Structure 1
Amino acid sequence: MIEHIEPDPDNPPPIPLSSAVRVGRLLFVSGQVSTEPGVGIVADTFDGEFHRTIRNVEQILAAAGATLRDVVQVRAFLRDEEARARFNELYAQTFQPPYPARTTVGNHFSFIQVEIDCVAVLPDGVDPTV
């Protein structure tokens, strides 16, 4: 069974996508960027955009009963190659070893510095049949 997850059903994404899709114990989180509800994209320093993006990922994970510790794969899209070293530092502070599998590539959007999507395995105790 497929379940579509929206952490705030009264404030869905402004574009046609589900924030996350759950299939059994797997949770697929759509690409998240530096946004605020009711505001949209928030430009900031790289660190600010990273932390806001992670907060958005965490809210979606929590809506499905998961945390960053349940993430098994991350895809990160960086606007600037020069940000890769700082991204690695922030990533290491955010995710704990053993780290999830990860792919990091460039993005083509000039208005966002970082986008992150991920796959999580829901923890024991979360009903996999929903």
Structure 2
Amino acid sequence: MSNSQVSYPRDADTPVSHLPFSPCVVVGNLVFVSGQASVDKTGKIISGDIESEFRRSIENVEAVLKTAGTDLAHVVQTRNYVREESDLAKYNELYAEYFKDPKPARTTIVKCLGDNLRYEVECIAVLPE
């Protein structure tokens, strides 16, 4: 796309995916972050409990946001995918640790991931002025 209002920031710290998508797209002052899961620097899925997968996923979001020039404090919406309903209490606890008041708008979908992931997150953020 040749629109000067659209960019696809990426650097050495941007999490790798072997799937066909951009980690994020910046349109004007909005940053759209693709689903980030518990993957290492090579894109390999690192399965674990909800806490370890949540933390690794959010660390990946932070890396993508940093590449785009923003951070978690500028996230305005999240979409969260949680495999097990039994993980919701821990998920909510962890979410509150990372997203402070005023919290972003949020959607959580349960029982939607395959056996190799317990958690995935995507978000929209704004660039700081």
Structure 1: runs of 5 or more not aligned: 125-130
One of 77, 85, 88 as aligned partner of 2:89: 85
2:31 paired residue number = 27
Unpaired segments of 5 or more residues in structure 2? none
CA RMSD of aligned residues (A): 1.6
Correspondence 1:44 to 2:48: yes
Hey, what's the Cα distance between the residues in 2 that align with 1:75 and 1:10? 20
Question: Which of structure 1's runs of 4+ aligned residues deviate more than 6 A?
Answer: none
- Corresponding pairs, count: 124
Map 1:47-86 onto structure 2 (within 5 A).
Answer: 47-86=51-90
Distance between the aligned counterparts of 1:10 and 1:98, measured in 2? 27
The 1:108–1:44 alpha-carbon spacing in structure 2 relative to 1, beyond 3 Å, is: closer
The residue identity in structure 1 corresponding to 2:118 is Q
Shift of the 93–12 alpha-carbon distance from structure 1 to 2, 3 Å rule, reads closer
Given that residues 15 and 64 in structure 2 are in contact (C-alpha distance below 8 angstroms), is that contact kept between their aligned partners in structure 1? no
Corresponding letter in the other structure for 1:84: L
CA contact (8 A) 2:14 2:63 kept: no
Identify if the C-alpha distance between structure 1 residues 10 and 33 changes in structure 2 by more than 3 Å, giving closer, same or farther: closer
What fraction of aligned residue pairs are identical, expressed as a percent?
Answer: 40
Contact 1:33 1:49 in 2 (8 A): yes
Aligned pair in 2 of structure 1 residues 85, 61: CA closer, same or farther (>3 Å)? same
Give the distance between the partners of 2:43 and 2:31, measured in 1 at CA: 26
Query: Which position in structure 1 is the counterpart of 2:117?
Result: 112
1:127 match: none
Shift of 1:44: 1.3
**Per-residue deviation, 1:9:** 7.9
Q: When the two structures are superposed, what TM-score results if normalisation uses the length of structure 1?
A: 0.90
Q: Is the 8 A contact 1:6 1:12 kept in 2?
A: no
Question: 2:87 is paired with a residue of what secondary structure?
Answer: helix
